[in-house]
Amino acid sequence: MGVGRAESATYVVQPGDCLWSIAVAHGTTWQTLVKINKLTSTTIYPGQVLVLPDSGASPVPVSSSEADPATTHVVQPGDCLWNIAVKYGVTVQDLMEANGLTSTIIYPGQVLAIPGSSGSQPAPAPSRGGGRVEVQRMLDYAASLLGTRYRWAGESPETGFDCSGFVKHVFGRFGIYLPHSADAQSYYGVPVSRYELKPGDLLFFCTEGYGIDHVGIYLGDGRFIHASSSRGCVRYNSLYESYWSSHFVTARRLI
């Protein structure tokens, strides 16, 4: 980590810094930094100047339940809060609270503090192989929403879905939390060739010529389910149809 002191008692936040890493580097706690800088959350920004406690000052005491995190995680391409939470045995909510996040969107290179896992249970992780039934349950649930009306910005069966709202709702039902944007969702998981698709993969399309603007869930045998604006509802289509084949951009695997 680069040293960004503006003067002896301050620190200039560098890209990739978090309160926890700054606290460790300067022999204090993140709670102390929050208190002396009058912060209302743990969110900090590159270039921000933080006041450091005097070297002889005692850090703010914290209870065992508020103890500093044991480690950090540098977000990699394809990471999402869900798979990071599963890796460290915590929950998505734990990560959001520990890092002062107000949404589940994260970016490669971002440094996340990992809270202690005591008392926390990881979100159930749908997986292939032994967890194949869980994947099928998710697809069955998606199919149960066939015919739900299309609604721009919608993300619930009661009010309707747009394409990314439909995917967000279905995956969220099974503990995988995604942003409400087809383009943003395309950064989650790992890339998959269209020739290696498996049920549960996400399919991304460019239908307007301005980047990724549509998403659906692959079911197998070329079929996928999505919220269609042109047909006004959740429906099936096939990647073998010329329209969808020509507008296909990429696929991602989250489970």
Exactly one of 18, 80, 163, 169 is catalytic; name it: 163
Whether 226 is catalytic is yes
pLDDT of residue 152: 94
Instruction: Considering only residues 28 and 247, tell me which one the structure prediction assigns the higher pLDDT.
Output: 247
Q: How many independent structural domains does the chain possess?
A: 3
> Is pLDDT of 19 > 80?
no
Is residue 107 within 8 A of residue 75, CB to CB? The reply is yes
Q: Is 206 a catalytic residue?
A: no
Residues 43-52 pLDDT 10s = 677 788 888 8
Mark whether 208 and 232 lie in a shared domain: yes
Residues 26-31 have a mean pLDDT of: 78
Q: Which residues contact 93 (CB under 8 A, 6 or more apart)?
A: none
pLDDT at 59 exceeding the cut of 70: no
Q: Which residue has better confidence, 10 or 41?
A: 10
State which H helix or E strand residue 136 sits in: helix 132-144
Regarding whether 79 and 63 lie in a shared domain, the answer is: no
Whether 122 maps to a domain, the answer reads no
Catalytic residue among 73, 226, 233, 247: 226
In this prediction, residue 231 carries a pLDDT of 92
Domain that holds residue 107: 69-114
pLDDT band at 8; cut points 50, 70, 90: low
pLDDT at 60 over 70: no
Number of H helices, E strands in the chain: 8, 12
Looking up residue 79, the CATH number of its domain turns out to be 3.10.350.10
Note if 169 is an active site residue. no
